[in-house]
Amino acid sequence: MNDSRRRRSAAASCLAVTGVLLATGCGGEASGSSTETTSLKGTPVKVMVWAPENTQGSAQPGIPLTAQAYEKWINANGGINGGPLKVITCNDKNDPDEAEKCAQQAVADKVVAVVGSYSLAGDRYMPILQKAGIPYIGGTGVSAAEFSNPLSFPVNGGTPVVFAAHGRQLVQEGCKKISGVRYDLAAAAIVSKFLTLGVTSAGGAPPKDLKVPVTATDLAPQVAAATKGSDCVSVILGTHSDLFVKSYVQSGAKTKLGSVVGNLTPQLAESTGGGGSPLEGAAITGYYPPISDAAWKDFLEATQGNKDIDTTNGANATTWVAFKVFTEAAEKLSKISAEALVKELDTTKGIDTGGLTPPLNWKASTALPIKGLNRIHNATATELTIRDGKIEWAKSGSTFVDVRKVLTAKPAG
């Protein structure tokens, strides 16, 4: 068991790069401070949100837009304890120096929390927030520091949870010989490790690990290798999963496809035939219910008509969940401050997100007992599928699947 835990601890340091593979990125304009006006008379509650915008790599312009949509929605519904929520945004530009500046701005502006943000530079911003006592609520899990710093309060289990759950889902849906296709990056090996853990825990044979050169544009060789002798392929290439699917369609292969959220998307299904797409029936593992679930009613209402917010984007969804958590905790306080928020989050018996997650808490007793991942408390995932070109529950009556035992089990032998 000690060897297994050492491997998982080392793997935790790779999460930052792996997170890029799970993101659905696109371009966008730079953000600034909110200008939303409100008639609420209570004390304004200031928070900050940051994400890379209008930049190379995994831009996430929908995150600040989602935060601003939440601000408008909550203020139209009474604010927080009668005071208006004020969202301050910051563009970290996928630059560690800029991420550090965002954190310094958060301290200077005396925000009570950083909520629902995305940045790869956790080792730069978390020490600044920790020193100032500012909680980091519901980051999107792309920085290793989010899973270890005591002032980080993640709302999902990130890469370890979703890939372990994905492996189990594939086996439970009848996959006997599985291939995993991911980029040829040392950091991306973490995907294979947790996928294998999930598959073998469900009684399946270890999946074939196929690597794609980061510069590859024609993935015909990888499609041939992945589909040969396999009945299921897990495609883990992030926004470039379309390259694999294009070659897959051209090959005429019939091997079942699957992935985690952010890879095989509704947009990709639509572009390859909608309900007749080869992605129809694909096994998709996520963190939350599908967007069609009633739990997302407020999110859809708040973002209605805003074509710049992709409601199927996992990062945008996490931002909304993070604000739900923040609001639930803040409304229990007589005076909202960063210090009081941290205490409330550390001791809460359960934050209700309205069905978007199970009740959340960050007590020491519920932490995942793995070094480097000990801020993971929510070890659940959701089993989904692509049906009629949309992501839906895999089965009627589905709910959250807990893989805590899978992640912490003593290895056989």
In this predicted structure, the answer to whether residue 228 has a pLDDT above a threshold of 50 is yes
Lowest-pLDDT range, 6-15, 46-55, 67-76, 83-92?
Answer: 6-15
Q: What is the pLDDT of residue 279?
A: 95
- 242 shares a domain with 148: no
Q: Which residue has the tokens 């999110």?
A: 299
- 181 shares a domain with 72: no
- 334 shares a domain with 261: no
Q: How confident is the model at residue 13 (pLDDT cuts 50, 70, 90)?
A: very low
- Determine the distance from the C-alpha atom of residue 133 to the mean position of all C-alpha atoms in its chain, rounded to a whole number: 24
Which of 23, 73, 94 has its CA nearest to residue 323? 73
The H or E element that residue 193 is part of is: helix 189-201
Q: What CA–CA distance (Å, rounded) separates 265 from 90?
A: 27
Q: How confident is the model at residue 86 (pLDDT cuts 50, 70, 90)?
A: very high
Report if pTM > 0.85.
yes
- Give a yes or no: residue 7 inside a domain: no
**Residue 220, C-beta contacts closer than 8 angstroms, at least 6 positions apart:** 247, 250, 251
What tokens does 46 get? 């200031």
- Give a yes or no: residue 25 inside a domain: no
- 77 shares a domain with 61: yes
Per the structure, the complete domain to which residue 74 belongs is given by 31-157+293-378
- 339 shares a domain with 270: no
- What is the edge-to-edge ordering of all strands in the sheet holding 152-153? 85-91, 45-51, 113-115, 136-137, 152-153
- Average pLDDT of the segment spanning 352-381: 96
Lowest-pLDDT range, 185-199, 223-237, 382-396?
Answer: 185-199
E-state strands within 262-379 = 283-286
Q: Contact, 373 vs 159, CB < 8 A? A: no
- Average pLDDT of the segment spanning 283-287: 97
- 279 shares a domain with 256: yes
- Average pLDDT of the segment spanning 358-374: 95
- Give a yes or no: residue 360 inside a domain: yes
- 139 shares a domain with 52: yes
The H or E element that residue 314 is part of is: helix 314-330
- Give a yes or no: residue 280 inside a domain: yes
Lowest-pLDDT range, 33-42, 182-191, 377-386?
Answer: 33-42
In this structure, what CATH number is given to the domain that contains residue 83? 3.40.50.2300
- Average pLDDT of the segment spanning 330-356: 97
372-383 pLDDT, tens digit per residue, is 999 999 999 999
What tokens does 121 get? 């530079």
- Give a yes or no: residue 6 inside a domain: no
Q: How many CA atoms lie within 13 A of 249 on its CB side?
A: 15
Q: What CA–CA distance (Å, rounded) separates 179 from 290?
A: 25
In this predicted structure, the answer to whether residue 6 has a pLDDT above a threshold of 50 is no
- 172 shares a domain with 132: no
- Give a yes or no: residue 1 inside a domain: no
**232 three-class SS:** strand
101-143 pLDDT, tens digit per residue, is 999 999 999 999 999 999 999 999 999 999 999 999 999 888 8
Q: What is the pLDDT of residue 9?
A: 41
288-318 pLDDT, tens digit per residue, is 999 999 999 999 999 999 999 999 999 999 9
Q: What CA–CA distance (Å, rounded) separates 89 from 68?
A: 9
Q: What is the pLDDT of residue 34?
A: 55
- Give a yes or no: residue 22 inside a domain: no
- Give a yes or no: residue 71 inside a domain: yes
- Average pLDDT of the segment spanning 24-29: 38
- 387 shares a domain with 374: no
3-state helix/strand/coil string of 352-399:
CCCCCCCCECCCHHHCCCCCCCCCCCCCEEEEEEEECCEEEECCCCCC
| Number of domains forming the structure of the chain | 2
- 301 shares a domain with 280: no
Q: What CA–CA distance (Å, rounded) separates 27 from 258?
A: 26
- 260 shares a domain with 127: no
- 271 shares a domain with 204: yes
